[in-house]
Amino acid sequence: MKFKKLGSVAALIVSAVVLTSCGTDNKAKFIKDNAELAKSSTQKFDLKTDDLKVSATGDAKAYMPIINGYLADFKLSGKVVTDDKKSQTNMDVSVAGQSIPMEFLTQWENAYLRLDTLRPLVELYAQYYGAGEYFRDIDMTFIKGKYLDINAISEESKGSSVSVEDYNKAMAKALDSVDKSDFSQKGSAVTLNLSGAKIGKLLKVYLASVGSLTKDMIKSLEETAGDDDLEKRVPRIIKSITIITDSKKKTSDIVINFTGKESDNIALDGKLSYQVKYSNEKVTVKMPTQSNLIKSTDEFGRLLSESIQFDYSDYGNVE
């Protein structure tokens, strides 16, 4: 009799565990938690390389020491603040011993890049494109307060931009294609682990779901990737991606592991880490006026040329 009761209790415990497991949808929680965190007014982010190295064979091999030198100390950090439908992203890109500040403003599908923070890039441009020993200085007053209209430049070059609405819908469909078994939960943190092949599948669903892209554009992107099957292409480069979202700590951690295997004579090894911390603060984002927008490459090139100052006083002198 006692054994019969014990068996009944054991059966109840097993049933409770099974029912609890079935009731816990880690995939649904992951999607819900990320959607809630995305509504935060402030997102602070950091991206860094962890032993990331590039190797190559053939003609590209000569450039590897330079590229790996840049990657060794590459870091990207910044903050995104959102005011209703307007967002401002400020970031610092650290590379080759230089810190390059950047600012982006977005409203709906419109995106703008602030130009007067890009002095280090303008100096590099001047050094590498004809300025040489005659380069003297940069006068940023010509582009102070000016913003590059990224969508206008993209349309000029027959490019395509993805609207926020299309992006969100496409990502929702892509995540929906991921199997529930790829999600796990520990405490308040939900983890998504994807192999390279599954990442390729997710990308295919995403590209097919983006309303802003035509079939021709999607085909062009796939051809650029090297072949028509992303599920075969991606695993050659990416081993896995791990995404951990913690609703309690208000954090998201992403790690991309590379295979180190050669693809088109180039191989990536090591990993990239990307961390985001979310919070809610009172923020205000001010969009640029139409008069401060640069909408063509010709106008941008003219302002850039006016900003670079040369000194040709010694030109032609021979000692």
Of 245, 314, 319, nearest to 277 by C-alpha is 245
Q: Please, which residues have CB within 8 angstroms of residue 13's CB and are 6 or more apart in sequence?
A: none
Predicted confidence at residue 282, as pLDDT, reads 93
| Alpha carbons 202 and 193: distance in angstroms, whole number | 12
Between 130 and 260, residue with greater pLDDT: 260
What is the predicted pLDDT for the residue at 118? Answer: 79
Regarding predicted confidence, which is higher, 317 or 250?
250
**pLDDT (tens digit per residue) in 13-26:** 444 444 334 445 89
pLDDT band at 230 (very low <50, low <70, confident <90, very high): confident
Least confident of 57-61, 124-128, 141-145: 124-128
Q: Kindly tell me if the per-residue pLDDT of 3 is higher than 50.
A: no
- For residue 66, pLDDT over 60 is answered with yes
Please give the Cα distance from 239 to 227 (Å, whole number).
Answer: 18
CA neighbours closer than 13 Å in the CB half-sphere of residue 168: 9
Which range is least confidently modeled, 137-141, 238-242, 270-274? Answer: 137-141
pLDDT bucket at 157, cuts 50 / 70 / 90: low
pTM, two decimals, is 0.79
What is the chain's length? 319
Band of the pLDDT at 2, cuts 50, 70, 90? Answer: very low
- Return mean pLDDT, the chain: 81
Residue keyed to tokens 């990416």: 238
Residues 6+ apart with CB under 8 A from 199: 234, 235, 238, 240, 241
Mean pLDDT (whole number) for 95-108:
86
Percent of the chain with pLDDT over 90: 40
Structure tokens at 111: 């995106």
More confident residue, 71 or 182: 182
pLDDT reading at 226 higher than 80: no
Q: Does residue 194 register a pLDDT over 90?
A: yes
What percentage of the chain has pLDDT greater than the value 70?
76
Half-sphere exposure of 156 (CA within 13 A, CB side): 13
Q: Which residue has the higher pLDDT, 33 or 318?
A: 33
Burial 285-319 (b: 16+ CB within 10 A, else e): bebbeeebbbbeeeebeeebeebbeeeeeeeeeee
